Each structure stands twice: as C-alpha cells, then as structure tokens.
Amino acid sequence: MKVPAPAPVRPTAGRAQRRAAAAYIVPFYLLFTLVMIAPLGYAVWSSLFKEESSGLGFGGTESVFVGLGNYADALADPALRAAFGHVAGYVALYIPLMTCAALLLALLLDSAAARAKRLFQLALFLPYTVPTVIAAIIWVYLYSPSLSPVMDWFGALGVGVDFFSASMALPSVVNIVTWHYVGYNMVILYAALQAIPRETLEAATMDGAGAIRTALQIKVPHIRSALVLSLLFTCVGAIQLFNEPYMLTTQSEAVNRDWSPVMFVHKAAFVDHRPGLASAAAILIALLAGVLSYAVTKLGNRWKAA
C-alpha cells in the first residue's frame, strides 16, 4: 500500500506563526527596555558625571566627567558602609525568623489536624495586601508610647521597651517586615506542600512516622525548590529596604535618612542633590543584589541536588 506523501507546509502558515509569536513577544521586550534597560543605562551614564557649581557658587551647575570617581566616593563614604552594615544585621535577623515562621505556618496549615484552612490562609495573607508605607505607619503608631495601647499593656506589666532606641531600631524594622511578608512566603511554601504526592505521605504514615518526623524528613525535603525561591525573594527584598526604616525616621533618632543603602541613594539624589553619587551607589546596590541572587541560586541548587 502506498503511503501518501505529507502535505507541504505552506510558507504563509509559517509567516502567520511568526507574526503571532512576535505579537506576544515584542510588547514584553519593549516594556522591558523602557522600564529596565533604559533606566539602567541612564544610571550608568549619570554615575560617570558630577555636578559642579561654576564660579563662587553663585552661578549654575555643569556636569563634569569624573569616570569612576563617584564609585570611589560612594565606597569611601562611611554612611554607605554603615547602611550596608545595617542591612547585613537585618538579613542575619530577618531571614531566619521569616523563613522559620513561614515554614512553620505552612506546615501547620498542611497538617491533617488543621481546620478552617482557607480562613487562616486569608487571615495570614492579609498583611501582605497592606501597602508597605501604611504598614509602617501602623507600626510606628503601635510603637509610640503616648499613643499605642500595646505600650500601655507593656507598662501595666512593668515592662519598659523603647522601640525607637538605638538598640531596638533593627528589631523594630525586622518586626514590621516580618509581619508584612510572612504570609506571602507562607502561601508559596503551602502551595509547594500541596503538590507533594499524597501516596508519599500515606506511605510514611503506614511506616510509623509521626507528624513531626513526616514534616521534617518528608515534607521539607520535597519543598526545597520553594524554600530556595522564598529565600531568593527575601534576599533581593532586603537589599531594597526603604519604606519601613524611612517611616521610623519620624520618631527615632537612631534611624537616620541614610540608614539603608536605598535610603542613602534617596538622600544623595533628592536631599544632597548629588545625582552622580546616587547613581553610582544604585549601581553598586544592583551589582550586590545580582551577586547575592547568584550565590543563593547556586547554593540552593546544591542543596536541592543533595
């Protein structure tokens, strides 16, 4: 029996597919260029120039090419180094606290004994729907001794806490961010837990594994990818810390206007009017975020392969 030859593909069909693909792809690349590539290129260009006043300071300003001078000034600035130190302490305190809290909540919701799971998911996720500025304002109110009912409760118990002091500034910021983002990370981990095959969990139960052993030895290893993703988002977000400490500057003398690296950029650009220094610091922050993301991804891949 003679097998019929396949029908030739018409060139017009291939062109139509390419046009359809371009219709979906081109808008993305246009938006990506406008909101990512162009601003990044402008920041790099701006970081190579410095604004200097002409004459005795009574004339206008002019842009002078300084090359890598702004980068040298940014790296030598003690305020920026202190800002990176604050973020390092913030990361050391926030990431373990947030990851453990989100993982514990996700495991509790995934347990067989949990009731009203949808209600608790919504309740835990609701803080993430609050804008970060509003969340910071709410917590500044709760931290204020003359306004907060929480501080009145602490006073009734004989506990004196000044959340605006130098020793409590970092924990105060960590508390605000944890309250805001723990529900978001919990949802990521809970979704990964729901994808674990039920047969695997039933087999562990039949082998005599209890709830805690099942959680630590079965569930957690199965959601390594989600944990790495959550950790990656958390690290990148830590570098971009701005709203929470910025709101604390209204009440705390320990939190200044350049407490975090992004706050340093904001102050350099809009308070000190040094756009070249601000651009150089922003590029350094972006490079650090890229290196940190790469390191977290590599370590996460090794952990997932283990």
pLDDT at 33: 92
The whole-number pLDDT of residue 113 equals: 67
- Taking the model in full, what pTM does it have? 0.84
Instruction: Choose the weakest-confidence range: 9-13, 163-167, 173-177.
Output: 9-13
Provide the pLDDT confidence category of residue 102 given band limits of 50, 70 and 90: very high
Domain 69-305 is in which class? mainly alpha
Q: What is the DSSP string of the chain?
A: -PPPPPPPPPHHHHHHHHHHHHHHHHHHHHHHIIIIIHHHHHHHHHTTEEEEE-TTTTS-EEEEE-TTHHHHHHHH-HHHHHHHHHHHHHHHHHHHHHHHHHHHHHHHHHSTT---HHHHHHHHHHHHHS-HHHHHHHHHHHH-TTT-HHHHHHHHTT----TTSTTTHHHHHHHHHHHHHHHHHHHHHHHHHHTS-HHHHHHHHHTT--HHHHIIIIIHHHTHHHHHHHHHHHHHHHHT--HHHHHHTTT-SSS-TTSSHHHHHHHHHHTS--HHHHHHHHHHHHHHHHHHHHHHHHHHHHHHH-
Per-residue pLDDT at 115 exceeds 80: no
Average pLDDT score over the chain: 86
- Per-residue pLDDT band for 246 (boundaries 50, 70, 90) equals very high
Average pLDDT score over residue span 47-58: 74
pLDDT single digits (tens) 84-101: 999 999 999 999 999 999
pLDDT in tens, 179-208: 999 999 999 999 999 888 888 877 877 877
